[in-house]
Structure formats: C-alpha cells, structure tokens
Amino acid sequence: MTTLAGSSRIRKYHLALIGVALLLMLMSLVRIIAGTDDITSSGVIGAALLFSVPIGLAGLGGLWAERAGVVNIGLEGMMVLGTWFAGWAGYQWGPVAALLAGLIAGALGGLLHAIATVTFGVDHIISGVAINLLGPGVTRFLSEVLYKEGSPANQAGAGITTSPPVSGEAWEFSLPLLSDGPDWLGSLEKTHWFLLSDVAGILRGLTHDVNVLVILAVLMLPLTFFVLWRTAFGLRLRSAGENPWAAESLGVNVLRIKYLAVVISGAFAGLGGVFLVFVSDKYVEGQSAGRGFIGLAAMIFGNWRPGGLATGAALFGYADALQLRSQGAVTSFLLFGAILLLIYLIVRARRMLTAGQSAREYTTMAAAAAGMVVLIWLWLTVDKLPNEFVFITPHVLTLLVLLVASQRLRMPKADGVIYRRGEQH
C-alpha cells in the first residue's frame, strides 16, 4: 500500500510538472500571436508575486481555522488590524516592531473570533462579519485619536488615513546565482524568443529584489502542510474539523485546539497586513482592498489544502498585477481563453469517439464552442477593454474560479458546526 501511495504521489507530481510546462508553452504562444510581451515579463511576474503573498497568507489563515472546524470570514478585518498596527509600530521602532505588532493585532482579532464562536457559540458567519466591520472602525478611530492635527505623529507626515513612513531599510535582496552579477536573465528576456524568454522573465521576476516576507510566506506553505498532515498535533486539529466529538472521545482537547487554530489564523491574516505595509512603506486606509476575501476564495479553490491554495493565490495575484501594469495585455487573455476552450473541445471530441455522450454533454460542448467563437471575435475586434472591466477582472476571475472549483470541493465535515463539549449533534 505504501508503494502504491508513493507511486501515486509521484505520478501527480509528474502530471503537475507537465501541466506547468504546457501552460508556459501556451502563454508563450499567446504572447507571440497577440504581440503582448507583458504577459510573462519580469515586471508583471514580480508584481504578481507581491500581490499573491497577502492573498496567500490570508488563505493560510482561513485554512488553519477551517481545518479545525471554524469558518473565518473575518480575515479581512484581521488583516486591516495588522496593517494599522504595523504602520503605527513601524514608524516608531522599525520593521521588526511592525512585524510583531501586525502579528499580535491579527492574533487578537482571531482570539475575539474564537471567543465568540467557540466559547459562546455565535454563528461563525455573523462573528466574521462583525470583525470585518470592527476592524476598519477601530483603526479609523485610532487614526483620528493618534494622527490628529497637531500630534507628533501628524507632524511626522501622517494623516487620518495614513501613517508616517516605516523607519528602517527595506528588507529586499536578490537571490544568488540567478540575479547576482550580470543580468543575463534580463538580456535573455529581451530577445523575446519562444519559451526561453518567457522562462527568463518568470525567473527574473521571482528572484530579483525579493522581500524577506515573500520568502517567509513561501516557506509557510510547506511548513503548514508538514504541521497539519505529518504531525500528531495536525492530526488532532484536522480531527476537530471532521468530527470533534469523536476526537473528544479519544482525549483531544477540542476547545483548546480550536482556540489555537483560530488565533494562528488571525496571525496569518495580520502578517498579510504587515506585508502590505512593507510594500507601500506605510499604512494607508483601505490598502487591504478585499484581499482577505480573495484569500478565502483561494483557499476554497485549493480545496482546503496548501498546494491548491498557492495555485489560487498565484492566479489571483497574476490577474491583479496584469490589470494594473498592462491593461492592454488583458485583452490577450481573450485569446488565451479561446485556446483553452479549443483544447477542451478536442479532448471531449476524442472521448466521444470511444464512448457515448449524453444530451447534457452535447449541450456543454456547444456552449464551449459558442464561448470560443465569442472570445475570438472579441479579441479580433476589441483593441483595449474599458477601464471599468479591466478593474473588476480579478473579482470576475474569483467568481469564475469558485464556480469551476465548486464541482470538486470537499470541505471539512464539521466546518462551521457549533461544538459543545459532550453534546454530539
């Protein structure tokens, strides 16, 4: 059994690598046909990495909470708390203080959510909504008190909606070998060769001027997988999200596990807020911009697992970066979508030759063919999409991804269930 499981995992890794290679080739083909070099440019990839990190950290927060059976839609409010306290502590004592303050503020938001849901049995959605309202309200009140006109903080360049710049040097560096010395990746990227320049642009974007928090966030993914799926503590935590009463009968302190998971969840959301402050060098009101909600969507897209979460965060971050750095390149994804639909139709047609198709499957294929025609027509006729449509691209992508992902989701069985010790439902 162990050998079969190991070979199954190896096959999945091979399929994932093949899928990444095919995706790169498809993006390179679209880049050449559409003439939009920004699709795989190092600038877009670097921006996508920056946008993906806070989404991924918020998603990790949701993963920890929901694997323990607590729905946490209050990630946005916890992230807002993290941004404000990181900005407040950062301009006074530097980036280390900003990091600690943001983590603690987010963890306190998680603790509040745990008290409401675990101890008092408040509906998880209601508690999360309350925290999302409380976070911006508390931070606005604190800004009006501490950054009012005439205060020392205000004289340092702050206002009601912004903090002074965070003191200290930026925690950025370039990874050795790939970005040190001559910029050979940049030179290769400028050649615009098929596939080679795309790989060079992606590698340069991922390795040049990388923030330390990016490395920390990336390391959190395998660490979370190891803790939750390879340790006894992780087994207890996941059992609390699947069947807390069965876990209780085996001696697991379910209440303590849930508290710890939700506090860690808030700390991850707060860390996402810290990252936003480090990127902009200060706290700005509203800078989370719904990333807590998008992180939750990325977690659901990833089927409550770190690997899928990372894929979802990268997808949303890339869409965000592309629409901000190159609005014209967004139209090239009309062609990208048309090619994907064409591949889907080819695969379905091959299956149709070996097996019968139901009326529903014929309807699906007809809809896919119509969608492909519409996308190609739009790509040929629309030079530049309206700014309003480009702006909502990440949010439309969120809805589409959730619509597709909903067909294969498997959430923890006791996720959102009110737990009472000794009272099995």
Integer Cα distance of 393 and 387 in angstroms: 10
Q: Write down the pLDDT at residue 274.
A: 95
Query: Is 252 a member of any domain?
Result: yes
Indicate whether 77 belongs to any domain: yes
| Same domain as 390, residue 364 | no
Q: Give 80's contacts (C-beta < 8 A, 6+ positions apart).
A: 135, 136, 139, 273, 288, 292
- Identify whether 283 is part of a domain: yes
User: Residue type for 229, please?
Assistant: W
The answer on 307 and 398 residing in a single domain is yes
Q: Is residue 84 part of a domain?
A: yes
Please indicate, yes or no, whether residues 95 and 192 belong to a single structural domain of this protein: yes
Q: Would you state the pLDDT for residue 398? A: 59
Rounded Cα distance, 144 and 15, in Å:
54
* Helix (H) / strand (E) containing 174: none
The CATH number given to whatever domain includes residue 239 is 1.10.3470
Quick check: is 411 in a domain? no
Taking each helix axis from N to C terminus, what angle separates 42-67 and 291-301, rounded to the nearest 10 degrees?
70
Tell whether 89 and 131 lie within a shared domain. Answer: yes
Task: Establish if 368 belongs to a structural domain.
Answer: yes
Mean pLDDT of the region 99-109 = 96
Q: In sequence order, what are the residues at sequence separation of 6 or more whose Cβ sits closer than 8 angstroms to the Cβ of residue 141?
A: none
CA distance 324 to 36: 15
Kindly report the number of other CB atoms within 10 A of residue 346's CB atom.
10
Q: Is residue 14 part of a domain?
A: no
Task: Indicate the burial class of 340 (C-beta count within 10 angstroms; 0-12, 13-18, 19 or more).
Answer: middle
Domain that holds residue 168: 42-176+184-327+386-405
Q: Is the per-residue pLDDT at 339 higher than 70?
A: yes
Rounded to 5 degrees, φ, ψ at 159 are -155, -175
Q: Please give the single-letter amino acid code of residue 347.
A: V
Range with top average pLDDT, 180-194, 266-280, 408-422: 266-280
Whole-structure pTM value: 0.87
What are the pLDDT digits (tens) for 277-310?
998 889 999 999 899 999 998 998 888 999 889 9
Where does 94-211 have alpha helices with state H?
Answer: 95-114, 124-146, 152-155, 184-190, 196-207
Pair (356, 394) in one structural domain: no
Tokens of 52: 């993906």
Q: Do 400 and 353 share a domain, yes or no?
A: no
Same domain assignment for residues 298 and 357: no
Give the alpha-carbon dihedral of 71, 267, 220, 251, to 10 degrees. -60
Average pLDDT of span 134-163 = 81
- What is the structure's pLDDT at 390? 65
Q: How many domains does the chain have?
A: 2
Same domain, residue pair 238 and 362: no
220 and 363 share one domain: no
Among 306, 309, 269, smallest CA distance to 291 is for 269
- Segment 380-408, tens digit of pLDDT: 887 666 766 666 665 665 566 555 555 56
* pLDDT for the residue numbered 393: 62
Give the least confident one: 65-69, 154-158, 162-166, 381-385. Answer: 154-158
- The percent of residues above 70 in pLDDT, for the chain, comes to 81
Q: What is the DSSP string of 392-405?
A: THHHHHHHHHHHHH
| Residue 346 belongs to a domain | yes
Please indicate, yes or no, whether residues 55 and 200 belong to a single structural domain of this protein. Answer: yes
Q: What's the rounded mean pLDDT across residues 109-121?
A: 96
Q: Are 124 and 168 part of one and the same domain?
A: yes
The residue written with tokens 């619509």 in the block is 403
Q: What's the whole-number average pLDDT of the chain?
A: 84
Mean pLDDT along residues 87-96: 90
Token output for 116: 């409401």
352 with 307, same domain?
no
What is the C-alpha R_g of the chain? Answer: 23
